[in-house]
């Protein structure tokens, strides 16, 4: 009986380590595809893909997972890969001030622990994805200076959800946010919101 228990424990630990490894691999693939699809060799601060992910500029890794990605003002061009939604441990994502086009990935609702999302000053089009209300930790949302055409994804946000919101254009649902709490977040860093 003891041998069966030990075998089961070893099998469980092996399966658990495979799960962690698979998630870590998905995160690596997401970052690698982001680099490839956004002209990474032309970024102002590029990555050496032969080094560990934790050494890549703008990437913060904690407990083996990517928790912050800040590639603001870094000359990213092109569309975001769908695999980016596999960064499920993200708390902070800043892609502002680039030349990103296309749509925001529909699967961003997977970023359930995300606190800060800044995609301002790009050329995103289409719809703001639905599912923002599932991102219960989201407090800072910056979408200014893009070409979004459909704002229905914002309609599901609650008044209590956001601390700051920047759309930089008239928006009929602005009452979602306490006007007194609005502020520019250009100087907000991951360290300020990681609590």
pLDDT tens-digit series, residues 159-172: 667 777 776 655 54
- With tokens 């200076």, the residue in question is 145
pLDDT tens-digit series, residues 125-160: 998 888 888 888 999 999 999 998 888 888 777 766
Confidence (pLDDT) at 133: 81
SS3 content of the chain, % helix, strand, coil (to 5): 35, 20, 45
- Rounded to whole angstroms, the Cα distance separating 152 from 129 reads 8
CATH number at residue 86: 3.80.10.10
* Mean pLDDT over each residue of the chain, to the nearest integer: 79
Q: Which of the given ranges, 20-34, 79-93, 103-117, has the highest pLDDT on average?
A: 79-93
Confidence (pLDDT) at 109: 86
* Structural domain of 115: 2-193
At 177, the pLDDT band (50, 70, 90 cuts) reads very low
Beta bridge partners of 79: 101
Strand pairing category for 65-70 and 92-94: parallel
Our count of domains for the chain comes to 1
At 45, the pLDDT band (50, 70, 90 cuts) reads very high
As a dihedral over the C-alpha atoms of residue 16, residue 20, residue 21, residue 23, rounded to 10 degrees, the angle is 140
Beta strands in 25-136 (DSSP E): 59-62, 65-70, 77-79, 92-94, 99-102, 116-118, 123-127
pLDDT tens-digit series, residues 64-107: 999 999 999 999 999 999 999 999 999 999 999 999 999 999 88
If you ran DSSP here, which 8-state letter would residue 93 be given? E
- Rounded to whole angstroms, the Cα distance separating 95 from 102 reads 14
């Amino acid at each position: 009986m003891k041998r069966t228990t030990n075998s089961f424990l070893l099998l469980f630990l092996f399966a658990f380590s495979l799960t962690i490894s698979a998630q870590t691999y998905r995160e690596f693939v997401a970052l690698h595809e982001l680099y490839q699809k956004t002209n990474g060799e032309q970024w102002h601060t590029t990555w050496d893909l032969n080094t560990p992910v934790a050494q890549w500029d703008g990437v913060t890794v904690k407990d083996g997972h990517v928790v912050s990605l800040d590639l603001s003002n870094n000359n990213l061009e092109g569309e975001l890969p769908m695999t980016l939604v596999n960064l499920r441990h993200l708390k902070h994502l800043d892609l502002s001030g680039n030349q990103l086009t296309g749509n925001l990935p529909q699967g961003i609702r997977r970023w359930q622990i995300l606190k800060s999302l800044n995609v301002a000053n790009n050329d995103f089009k289409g719809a703001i994805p639905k599912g923002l209300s599932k991102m219960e930790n989201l407090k800072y949302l910056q979408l200014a200076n893009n070409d979004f055409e459909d704002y229905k994804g914002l309609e599901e946000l609650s008044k209590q959800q956001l601390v700051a919101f920047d759309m930089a254009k008239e928006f009929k649902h602005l009452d979602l946010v306490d006007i007194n709490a609005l502020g520019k977040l250009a100087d907000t860093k991951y360290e300020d919101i990681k609590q």
